[in-house]
């Protein structure tokens, strides 16, 4: 038996927001061939996104970052759209799986990243349907970016008034974890160190910064610190 045609209740409303008009037209033309989708289009800017979301009530939005503006501006649009309409499932369309773009897209509310470079209509349709069902869509490379990111030990570079680094790499990690609210036992577990060693690093940090409490360290880090991607440091490493 051939599958029955999609009923009105089965049709999924999909918004395509793309700064590239030709790409938007190609995507729209392709997806409109699928009976399970109702396609809406709009430019990739906040006023257009908010208007379409309010008037058309899409279930899923395919969002293509605008290459004419910075990545930070694109992520700001995604985040504002997500905060205004968290019920809309966001899928970001990318040409390549740039690490920062992948991480920031998920951090800003995306539920999926779809690479256009190796795309097929069948795969894109599957991505839309799976995301609408509540699943996360990411390929192996994108998932590895996320796993690497969440497994990194945070680090906090601390400078004096002359812009000179004050702490060793391990002290930077301890300061970052203190700033995140972890206790000495939790820091020791995170860094694979003994609590005694963590205390030693903490006291050395206090001495270098001229402070005496964890609260002062948090405040100092907020005012004088800059987070950075940390390289893994083995538990037995020694530094000065």
Q: Report the topology of domain 152-228.
A: Arc Repressor Mutant, subunit A (1.10.10)
Each residue of 173-231: pLDDT tens digit?
888 888 878 889 988 988 889 999 999 999 999 998 888 888 888 887 776 655 554 44
Whole-number Å distance between alpha carbons of 146 and 233: 20
Of 3.40.50.2300, 3.40.1390.40, 2.40.170.20, 3.40.50.720, the CATH number of 12-148 is 3.40.50.2300
Given a cut of 90, whether residue 111 has pLDDT beyond it is yes
Share of the chain above pLDDT 90, in %: 44
Average pLDDT of the residues in 70-76: 88
Pull the structure tokens for residue 70. 């910075």
pLDDT band (50, 70, 90) for residue 154: low
Whole-number Å distance between alpha carbons of 12 and 39: 8
**DSSP secondary structure, 123-139, as one string:** HHHHHHHHHHTT--B--
What angle (nearest 5°) sits at the alpha carbon of residue 155, between those of residues 151 and 158? 175
Q: What is the pLDDT of residue 67?
A: 86
Q: What is the chain's mean pLDDT, rounded?
A: 84
Whole-number Å distance between alpha carbons of 168 and 173: 9
Q: Domains of the chain: which residue ranges?
A: 12-148, 152-228
Average pLDDT of the residues in 153-174: 75
Sole residue written with tokens 């004419």:
68
């Amino acid at each position: 038996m051939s599958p029955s045609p999609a009923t009105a209740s089965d049709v999924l409303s999909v918004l395509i927001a793309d700064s590239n008009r030709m790409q938007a037209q190609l995507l729209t033309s392709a997806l409109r061939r699928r009976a399970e989708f109702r396609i809406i289009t709009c430019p990739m800017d906040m006023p257009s996104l908010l208007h379409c979301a309010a008037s058309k009530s899409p279930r899923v939005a395919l969002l293509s970052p605008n290459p004419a503006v910075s990545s930070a501006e694109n992520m700001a649009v995604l985040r504002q759209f997500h905060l205004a309409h968290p019920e809309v499932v966001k899928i970001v369309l990318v040409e390549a799986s740039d690490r920062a773009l992948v991480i920031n897209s998920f951090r800003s509310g995306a539920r999926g990243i779809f690479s256009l470079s190796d795309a097929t209509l069948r795969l894109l349709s599957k991505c839309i349907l799976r995301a609408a069902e509540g699943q996360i869509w990411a390929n192996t490379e994108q998932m590895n970016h996320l796993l690497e990111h969440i497994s990194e030990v945070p680090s906090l570079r601390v400078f004096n008034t002359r812009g000179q680094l004050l702490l060793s790499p391990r002290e930077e990690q301890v300061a970052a974890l203190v700033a995140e609210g972890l206790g000495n036992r939790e820091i020791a577990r995170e860094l694979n160190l003994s609590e005694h060693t963590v205390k030693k690093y903490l006291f050395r940090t206090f001495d270098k910064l001229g402070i005496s409490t964890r609260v002062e360290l948090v405040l100092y880090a907020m005012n004088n610190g800059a987070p950075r991607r940390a390289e893994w440091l083995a538990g037995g490493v020694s530094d000065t």
